[in-house]
């Protein structure tokens, strides 16, 4: 049981900690809205990770040939959505700066916590590589592969908990940054920088792995 629990925690942190376009967008979103909205968005990411971990534990090796044909279209869709969100964030910040408002929190009126949850859930589900990652870990770990169904549930819950702790930390960092940047210029610079980074990371999704 302990080995499965540790494997699940390591798997959850392994998929959550690398900074990608979704994590950057999560932090930027929290910066310009609120911690509550960011926390709901973070839970959207966590839900997708948990679902993919559950699918990997249930499906195992049979998943890879099924997922491979749709991976590229999903990556293109994910990159397109992320670039659109990055452009929207930059334009929102620029308009707020031009109008003389002190904050770029226009999104908070339109992006409710529930909507933020489903937006990040959909974005994260567009990366089917996550389920391949979890499946590889399950098959590569004797402790998990040979474990009873109850132990596999522990693996999924541990991965979910690890992902949740990290994504909420990212959202909290975005909230702290939002409080520190009270001037319109600082928010504009941050929004433009995050939008640029999101775009670069989104484009990297389309590049072949080395």
9-55 tens-digit pLDDT: 887 787 777 667 788 888 888 888 889 999 999 999 999 988 888 88
Angle at 159 between CA 158 and CA 163, to 5 degrees: 115
On whether residue 147 sits in a domain, the answer given is yes
**Whether the predicted model's global pTM rises above the 0.75 cut:** no
Please classify residue 53 by burial: count the beta carbons closer than 10 Å to its beta carbon, then call 0-12 exposed, 13-18 middle and 19+ buried. buried
Please classify residue 189 by burial: count the beta carbons closer than 10 Å to its beta carbon, then call 0-12 exposed, 13-18 middle and 19+ buried. middle
- Check if the beta carbon of residue 25 is closer than 8 Å to that of residue 123: yes
At 30 the pLDDT is 87
136 pLDDT band, cuts 50/70/90, is low
On whether residue 8 sits in a domain, the answer given is yes
Answer whether residue 142 shows pLDDT above 60.
Answer: no
On whether residue 175 sits in a domain, the answer given is yes
At 37 the pLDDT is 92
What is the domain range of residue 175?
Answer: 2-72+105-181
Short-list 203, 160, 209, CA closest to 24: 203
Encode pLDDT of 145-197 as tens digits: 556 777 778 888 888 899 899 999 989 988 887 766 555 666 667 677 777 87
- Check if the beta carbon of residue 155 is closer than 8 Å to that of residue 53: yes
Encode pLDDT of 66-118 as tens digits: 666 767 787 787 778 778 877 877 787 777 667 765 444 444 456 789 999 99
On whether residue 88 sits in a domain, the answer given is no
On whether residue 196 sits in a domain, the answer given is no
Short-list 202, 188, 192, 184, CA closest to 76: 202
* Total count of domains within the chain: 1
Task: Return all residues near 180 (Cβ < 8 A) that are at least 6 apart.
Answer: 186
Question: How far apart are the C-alpha atoms of 149 and 128, rounded to whole Å?
Answer: 23
Short-list 13, 4, 188, 197, CA closest to 102: 188
Kindly state the tokens that stand for 44: 């959207």
On whether residue 177 sits in a domain, the answer given is yes
């Amino acid at each position: 049981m302990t080995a499965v629990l540790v494997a699940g925690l390591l798997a959850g942190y392994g998929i959550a900690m690398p900074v990608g376009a979704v994590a950057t967008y999560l932090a930027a979103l929290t910066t310009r809205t609120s911690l509550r909205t960011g926390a709901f968005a973070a839970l959207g990411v966590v839900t997708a990770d948990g679902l993919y971990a559950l699918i990997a534990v249930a499906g195992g090796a049979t998943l890879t040939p099924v997922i491979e044909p749709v991976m590229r279209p999903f990556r293109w869709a994910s990159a397109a959505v992320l670039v659109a969100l990055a452009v929207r964030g930059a334009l929102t910040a620029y308009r707020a700066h031009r109008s003389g408002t002190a904050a770029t929190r226009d999104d908070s009126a339109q992006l409710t916590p529930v909507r933020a949850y489903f937006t990040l859930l959909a974005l994260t589900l567009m990366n089917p590589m996550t389920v391949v990652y979890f499946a590889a870990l399950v098959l590569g770990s004797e402790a998990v592969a040979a474990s009873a169904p109850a132990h596999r549930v522990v693996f999924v819950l541990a991965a979910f908990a690890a992902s949740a702790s990290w994504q909420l930390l990212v959202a909290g960092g975005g909230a702290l940054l939002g409080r520190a940047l009270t001037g319109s210029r600082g928010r504009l610079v941050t929004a433009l920088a995050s939008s640029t980074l999101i775009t670069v990371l989104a484009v990297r999704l389309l590049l072949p792995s080395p």
